[in-house]
Structure formats: structure tokens, C-alpha cells
Structure 1
């Protein structure tokens, strides 16, 4: 069964990567190689790769240190029958974050999970990135597709200036432009009014969150610098205000 012509598999996969905050992590048991599955909190790197903050005391971390091959299922937590909602099954390797990736992983994870501030500095906790080798997307009848990473990850090699300015932009939006953030959510994305805040921005869009609810606002075109980001956010705010 081929996907229907109006189905944008890449866009849906990217959206799930950005919006999901929990997932089922499958690892291989050290020694036996038996499959082991656990529930984990996730965030997304600037390129969309899942970020994990996990303890070395946990079984799944011990498994990763013995064999980094993992899979991660993320789903949209649809109301009603969960099997009617979209989900992706990522396969790849989990790597401990270091260097610039560690800095990005830490701030993006804490933006998505502020409560992790309570234990992020514990000696046994470390950030890991899941480096995908592919994904299996299931989104309903006629909408089942296998995708390579270049179909769902965001190119960031040309966006160093944007990533460096990301946290400042997020803080500025949440402190001084909360009205615009809420307009993005309600008028551009059709969400209910709530205390929406920005949790991340990247060349392809921005992530919004209110409590346990998450949204993804895609940009009409890529942005790679702070100046381009500012112009895009103003443009989208104007579009939102123009909507009834």
C-alpha cells in the first residue's frame, strides 16, 4: 500500500520528533542480548535527534554502554484508540553528548523538562543523543513509510549563528513577547488558549509548550541567522494578528 498523494511523511516525522516528550526506549541487555524496554523523557537536539538524560544506575544506560544500538518509539498520544495516532520507531545508536552537543543537549532538554533541574547535576546522570539511522512511520491506513535520516532531520551545518543565539531568543520571546507566542499557538496552529511558551528554535521552525501540551510551528522557509529569525517571528506574529 503506497501512501496517499497528500501525505507529507517527512513533515509528520519531524513534527513528532519535536513534539514528543516521552518515548519507549529499547536496548539490548548486557550479556544476554535480550530486548529491554523502558519509558524515558525526551527532548530534541537542534537537528531533531532525540536527547535523553539518563542515570548510569539505570538498566537501560548500562545496556547502552555495553551496546549502543537502540530503538525509540515516539507517538502523538492521540485521544481515544492510541493505535489510531501517528508514531515513529527510530533506530540508531545512542552516544554520550560532549563538546558543543552537550551544551545544546543540556539547554534544550531543560527547556522541555524544567523539572529536571532538580537532578541534572547528579554525578550519575548524563546526556545521550540518539543518532538515527532510519525510522518507520505509521500514521494510518496507506500511511506507513520508512525514512532515511535526511528525510526527517534538520540541516544545521549552516546555522551556527542561529544556534548560538537560540537561548537568548527563547528567553526574549518568553519574557517580552508572550502575546505573540500565544497567537502562534491559537491563531496559526488552532490550539486552545493557554500559557504557551517557546522551548526551542531551529532553521525549520519553533517549538511551543504549555504544561504537557506541545506544538510545532514550521517556518515557510529556512532561517539560519538571528536576524532572519527575528524577521520571521515578526512576520508570523503579523499573520496571526491578521487572522480573525
Structure 2
């Protein structure tokens, strides 16, 4: 299994922001229980979810943390011809105050409305610790992947600083990214997150991930990539690994 396959699977996880979480049913033993959950990735590159304590999937995870999340390419005409990923995991509820604070700060940027019901109701953050992955990149492109996560080198203060700066001072550049990528422009986009391989834009309730032409490992490299894209006439193709 090549590094390119793992990268393609990880990019699918980055491009999407909702999946089908399958848990072991507590009330119907032996049956899988599926539910739709929005997610973003935490500082280690793991899916981060915010779920209600009274939800059925939460009760299921409290009894058996083994689960999976299915992620597929959105708006596909032929779902069997496009990428999909089954992410097998152990779910873990965040308990340390510092971890909860970091999770909330990032999750709220992706899903601002979640701040209201998280504070008003009994919701908790959980992360999906990876066990193994089944990635299908199209007909015949089927792979088991043991490791695809990639830690975010900017998670925390560096990312917050870059995101706030871009949203406050460079709305025109963000609008240009939207135009280059052919994304909806009915409402202004906001930068939601930055990782070494790309950036997330939030447009209304939807989230979109746009790749950099080459990986960025320092804030300076991110700045150079963003400036370059702000002046680009077309979206640069990614460098092949």
C-alpha cells in the first residue's frame, strides 16, 4: 500500500465534514446502529465529534466504544465510482479541561451554531481513535490502510492567529480562493482551519477543504502559499508525492 493511497484517503476525510457513525446497538444487541454526525479533525488528525448524552449512539458508545464512520464524496452521481472511506475506531470521550477547551475552539470555527447547544445542553466531545481503515478510490481501487492520520503542526495558537488574521484583514483573498475553486458564493466565506496540506473554508453551513500545491510545515510557508493563491489565475495542481 503506497503513501499516495493513504494520502488520498486522508484527503477524502479532510474534504468531507459529515459521516455515518455506526455503533453497536445497546437496545437491539447484535445490530449495528447508524447515525449522521458532523466532524472536523483534531490536532492529531482524528475525527472530532460533538454528541448529546441522551442520543442513542452515545449510549451505544458508552457500552462498547468500538465503532466506524463511513465518509463518502458528496454530491456524487455514481456513488460506486467515487471515493469512500470506512474509518474503524475506538471512540473516546474527552475529559481533561484543556483537551475540551482545545476541541471546542476548533469545532466552533467549523460549526458555529454548535456553541449554542453545547453550552445549553448536555453534549460532549468525543474523538475517534483510529484502528484501521478501508478505502475505496473507485472501481477496483480497494485498500486496507493501517495509518492515515497526520498531526496538524499549526493546531492551537498558530492556527488561531492565522485564521483570525485572514478573516479580519484578507476577505478579498478568501473571496478569490472561492472563485478559483468554483465554490458557492451566495454568502461570504470564512477561513475555518489550516493544516499542512490545505485549508478549510466555511460557506454558510457547508465546509470545503482546498489543498495547497505543496505541503506547508511552517507559518511562513502557509503565508507564502496563501499569498500565491491570492494572485493566482487558476488553482495550482498539487505536487505529486
What is the TM-score of this pair, normalised by structure 2? Answer: 0.83
Residue in structure 1 matched with residue 215 of structure 2 by the alignment:
221
Distance 2:98 2:199 in 1: 20
RMSD, aligned α-carbons: 2.7
What CA distance in whole angstroms lies between the structure 2 residues aligned with 1:193 and 1:124? 35
Q: Distance in 2 between matches of 1:70 and 1:80?
A: 28
Summarize the Cα distance change of 1:204–1:171 in structure 2 as closer, same or farther, 3 Å threshold: same
Residue 78 of structure 2 corresponds to 81
Structure 1: state its 5+ residue gaps.
Answer: none
The equivalences for 1:151-230 within 5 A come to 152-156=148-152, 159=153, 163-187=156-180, 189-191=181-183, 193=185, 195-211=188-204, 212=206, 214-218=208-212, 220-224=214-218, 226-230=219-223
- Structure 2, unmatched stretches of 5+, are 237-241
CA separation of 1:182 and 1:134: change in aligned 2, threshold 3 A: farther
Equivalent of 1:148 in 143, 146, 149 = 146
Cα shift at 1:103:
2.6
The CA deviation at 1:241 is: 8.0
Deviation, structure 1 residue 46? 3.1
Deviations 1:60-88 (A, max 9, x none): 10111111111000111133233333211
- 2:21 and 2:234 map into 1 onto residues whose CA distance is 41
Question: Greater helix share, 1 or 2?
Answer: 1
- CA deviation after TM superposition for structure 1 residue 100, in Å: 4.0
3-state SS of 1:38 partner: strand
Equivalence map 1:84-163=2 (5 Å): 84-97=81-94, 98-149=96-147, 152-156=148-152, 159=153, 163=156
Q: TM-score, normalised by structure 1?
A: 0.82
Paired with 1:37 and 1:108, the residues of 2 have a C-alpha distance of 25
The 1:143/1:182 distance shift into structure 2, 3 A limit, reads farther
- Equivalent position of 2:225 in the other structure: 232
**Distance (whole Å) between structure 2 residues aligned to residue 14 and residue 130 of structure 1:** 14
Which consecutive segments of 4 or more residues in structure 1 shift more than 6 A? none
The answer to whether the Cα contact below 8 Å between 1:74 and 1:87 also exists between their aligned partners in 2 is yes
* Counterpart in the other structure of 1:20: 16
